[in-house]
Amino acid sequence: MMPLLTTKGLSRHFGGLRAVDGVDFALMPGEIRAIIGPNGAGKTTFVSLLSGRIRPSSGMIVFDGADITGMPAYQRVRLGVAYTFQITSVFANLTAFDNVALPVQRTLTDGRSKGAVRTGVMEALARTGLADRAGTPAGQLSYGHQRLLEVAMGLALKPRLLILDEPTQGLADSEIDNFIELVHEIAKRATVLLIEHNMPVVMQLADRITVFNSGRILAEGTPEQIRANTDVQDAYLGATHG
């Protein structure tokens, strides 16, 4: 099977700092991949390169057979690469409804269907458990609900690859259980790339895990393999826990 996404020698330097340093990475269609690693390992920078939010210093990104290295972010979104932000960046002054309406209306090809936006929005809000908050300005939602709204916006883009950057940060335990269910649901239709510090969540969700350290891939494998890997334990699992 052909990978959905591959990177070759992907690097991004900030001055002298090699935030992402020559990463070769491949993601199979349909899988749930988790990226873990200590704070500052380069995880967010790596997925930002994939989404086009920042430009690489060198290297190449291929999505579905096409070289997208130089493609503007908005075109990647249209190809099906959706990104939800680590730092919540919903539109605080717009209602939850309007936040989700923006991605929904963009994916509608039929520009005239009046009710389609409403239907799509309410569906995405319902899937994330926010249906009763549709009229609330996003800035007035609880932090956990803002995280979920962020996911709802990603969902509404109908992505082929959904990149979630620490989606469970700030969620209550009960919300996390729902979230795990939601990701399983999403994964039926899309490939999921998930940055996550919460190890139980990673272990329950991931088909495979990629471990980042100092801008490089330290290890990659199934949850069991990663759990057993001593390098990983030294670098991450035993030591820091963000």
Partner 1 sequence: MRDASPAKTYALHVGVIALLFVLNFVLPDYHQGLFARIMALAVFAMGYNLLFGYVGLLSLGHAMFFSAGLYGAGLTVYHLGWGVPEAFVAGVACGALLALAIGLLALRTSGVAFMIVTMMFAQVFYLLILYFAAWTGGDQGLVIQQASRVISIGGASLDLTNSTVRYMNALALFSVVLLITLAIVRSRFGRVLVAIRENEERTKMLGYDTVANKLAAVVASGAICAASGAAYALLFGYVGSSFASVQYSILPLLWVLLGGAATTLGPLVGTLFMYYVTDIASGFTSAYLLIVGVALILLVLFFPKGILGTIRERWLGWLP
Ligand X SMILES: Nc1ncnc2c1ncn2[C@@H]1O[C@H](COP(=O)(O)OP(=O)(O)OP(=O)(O)O)[C@@H](O)[C@H]1O
Residues at the contact surface with ligand X, assessed by CB under 6 A = 14, 17, 19, 37, 39-45, 86, 242
DSSP for 93-133, please give it: TSBHHHHHHHHHHHH-S-TT-HHHHHHHHHHHHHHTT-GGG
H or E element in which residue 211 lies:
strand 208-213
CA distance 217 to 23: 7
Tokens 């334990």 map to which residue? 233
The Cα 123–Cα 100 span in angstroms is 10
Residue 86 contacts partner 1 per CB under 8 A: no
Pairing of strands 161-165, 5-14: unpaired
Structure tokens at 56: 């690489």
Q: Which residue has the tokens 């936040």?
A: 99
Q: Per CB under 8 A, which of residues 149..178 are in contact with partner 1? A: 153, 157
In the complex, minimum distance from the CB of residue 200 to partner 1, in angstroms, rounded to a whole number: 29
| Residue 103 binds partner 1 (CB under 8 A) | yes
- Shortest Cβ 69–ligand X spacing (Å): 18
Q: Which of 14, 67, 78, 241 binds partner 1 (CB under 8 A)?
A: 78
- Total residues at the site for partner 1 (CB under 8 A)? 31
Strand pairing partners for 14?
A: 17
Smallest distance from ligand X to CB 155, Å: 22
Give the span between the Cα atoms of 183 and 84, in whole angstroms. Answer: 13
Q: Does 198 bind Mg ion (CB under 5 A)?
A: no
Could you tell me if residue 22 is left (phi over 0), alpha (psi between -120 and 50 degrees) or otherwise beta?
A: left
Q: In terms of CB distance, is 22 or 137 closer to partner 1?
A: 137
Interface with Mg ion includes 44 (CB under 5 A)? yes
Q: Which does 235 bind (CB under 5 to 8 A by kind): Mg ion, partner 1, ligand X, none?
A: none
190 sits near partner 1 (criterion: CB under 8 A) = no
Q: Which of 165, 163, 159 is nearest to 147 (CA)?
A: 165
- Which of 62, 71, 94, 199 is the binder for partner 1 (CB under 8 A)? 94
Residue 120 binds: one of Mg ion, partner 1, ligand X, none (C-beta under 5 to 8 A by kind): none
Q: Which residues contact partner 1 by CB under 8 A?
A: 51, 53, 72-74, 77-78, 83, 85, 89-95, 97-98, 101-103, 105-107, 111, 117-118, 134-135, 153, 157
